[in-house]
Structure 1
Amino acid sequence: MDGTPLLLNVVDVEATCWDGATPPGEVNEIIEIGLTVVDLARGERVAKHRLLVRPERSRVSAFCTELTGLTQREVNGGVSFADACRWLAKEHAAGVRPWASWGDYDRHQFTRQCAATGVAYPFGSRHTNAKAVFAEARGLRKRPGMAGALGLAGLPLEGRHHSGADDAWNIAALILSLGSAFEQA
C-alpha cells in the first residue's frame, strides 16, 4: 500500500427492545449508534464514536435498559434519527466509505427505519457482514455471536457488551484479526 488511509466504518446499533412481544403501537428504533473507524492500511482502530438517538415511536423498556445500560432519560437527550443519518454522511463519509457490522441486523434496521421515517439511507452499497467473513475464515458451520467470536479469536471483550460504541470497537478488533481474509471479502 502507498500509505493512503483505507478507512472502514464499523457500525453497531442498539435499538429499543422488549422481553417478549413488541408492545402495541411501538417499533424497534435505533437509540445508539456506535462507530469505530478502522485504518485497514495501518491495521488499527483510529477513532471510536457514540451517538445517542432519540426514539420517536417507542420507549426504552426496563429490559432494554438492563441489556444496553441506556435509559429513556439518556436517549431523550439524543439527536433525531434524521440528524444521526446526516452525521454519518457528513462526518464519516458513510455514503462512500465501506462499512461493516456483525451480521445483517444493523443494515436491516437502518433500511427499515429509513423507509418508515422517510429519512435518506446514509450508507453506500459496500457493506460487509463481518460475522459471515469470520465464520468462513475459521471454517465454522455456525456463525458465532460477537462475544463468542472474541473468545475464539483469543481477544478480550473490551467495555460493555450491548453498548453500541464498545461493540463496534470489539467488532473492529475481530475484523483486524482476520487480516487479508476480511480485505478479500
Structure 2
Amino acid sequence: MPLLNVVDVEATCWTGQPPPGAVSEIIEIGLTVVDLATRERLDKHRILVRPARSTVSAFCTELTGLTQAEVDTGVDFADACRLLAAEHRADSRPWASWGDYDRKQFERQCRATGTRYPFSGNHTNAKLAFTDSHGLRRRPGMAGALAVAGLPREGRHHSGADDAWNIAALVLGLAARGDWPEPA
C-alpha cells in the first residue's frame, strides 16, 4: 500500500525577534496518513511538543490556538521524533509538507538538540508540486491553494493537525490529476 505521511508543524513565534535566549521550537506536529492508491486520508494525528528553550507567546497563542499550559502537557522533542519513527514509520515512509519550512525546522532542531532526524530522505514539497500542476506564477499558501483547488478549509488554520489534513486533500487532488510525483 503506497502510504504517504503529510506533516505540518507549528512552532513558537513572536511578533518581532525572539526574547533573549529563545529560539523557534516545534510545539505541535500534525500528521495525516494518505493512501495514494485509494486516494484517501486515513488517519489524522497530533503530537504536542514541550518547548525546552522558549515559551508560547500571546502572539503564538492567537495564531495557533496553543497555550503554554497545553504544550506543557506534551512530550519533549526527542520523544516526539521517536514517536514519529515508531508509530508513523516516518523513517521509512515518504512524506510531504507545504513548502520546505517544516523539513528545515526539523533539521535545525535535530541538529541543535542532537536528536536523530525522524524522517526518510524521501520528501516532497507539496507547494512546488501544486504550483507546477496548476501553472501558477506565484506559490500560494495552503489556504490560497485550497481556494484554487475548490476545496474547503477544514478546521483551524495554523493548527498542525488541521493543516496537515488540508494539505493531504491538496496532495490527493494532485494525485487525481496525475501530478503527484512517484516516491523514489
Report the residue type matching 1:67 in the other structure.
L
Shift of residue 24 of structure 1? 1.1
Q: Distance in 2 between matches of 1:13 and 1:42?
A: 26
Q: Distance in 2 between matches of 1:124 and 1:184?
A: 15
Shift of residue 184 of structure 1? 4.2
RMSD: 0.8
Query: Which of the residues 87, 109, 113 maps onto 1:113?
Result: 109
Q: Does 1:134 align with 2:130?
A: yes
Task: Tell me the SS of whatever aligns to 2:124.
Answer: strand
Shift of residue 108 of structure 1? 0.2
Specify the alignment match of 1:91 in structure 2: 87
Report the residue type matching 2:80 in the other structure.
A
Specify the alignment match of 2:180 in structure 1: 182
User: Which deviations, in whole Å up to 9, do the C-alpha atoms of 1:38-67 show, x marking residues without a partner?
Assistant: 000110000000110000000000000000
Unpaired segments of 5 or more residues in structure 2? none
Report matched runs for 1:1-185 at 5 Å. 5-179=1-175, 180-184=178-182
User: Which deviations, in whole Å up to 9, do the C-alpha atoms of 1:107-164 show, x marking residues without a partner?
Assistant: 0000000000000000010000000000000111110000000000000000000000
User: Which deviations, in whole Å up to 9, do the C-alpha atoms of 1:80-102 show, x marking residues without a partner?
Assistant: 10000000000111111000000
Report the residue type matching 1:127 in the other structure.
H
Q: TM-score, normalised by structure 1?
A: 0.96
Unpaired segments of 5 or more residues in structure 1? none
Task: Tell me the SS of whatever aligns to 1:109.
Answer: helix
Q: Distance in 1 between matches of 2:78 and 2:11?
A: 15
Report the residue type matching 2:105 in the other structure.
Q
Aligned length, in residue pairs = 181
Q: TM-score, normalised by structure 2?
A: 0.97
Moved over 6 A (4+): none
Instruction: Provide the identity percentage.
Output: 72
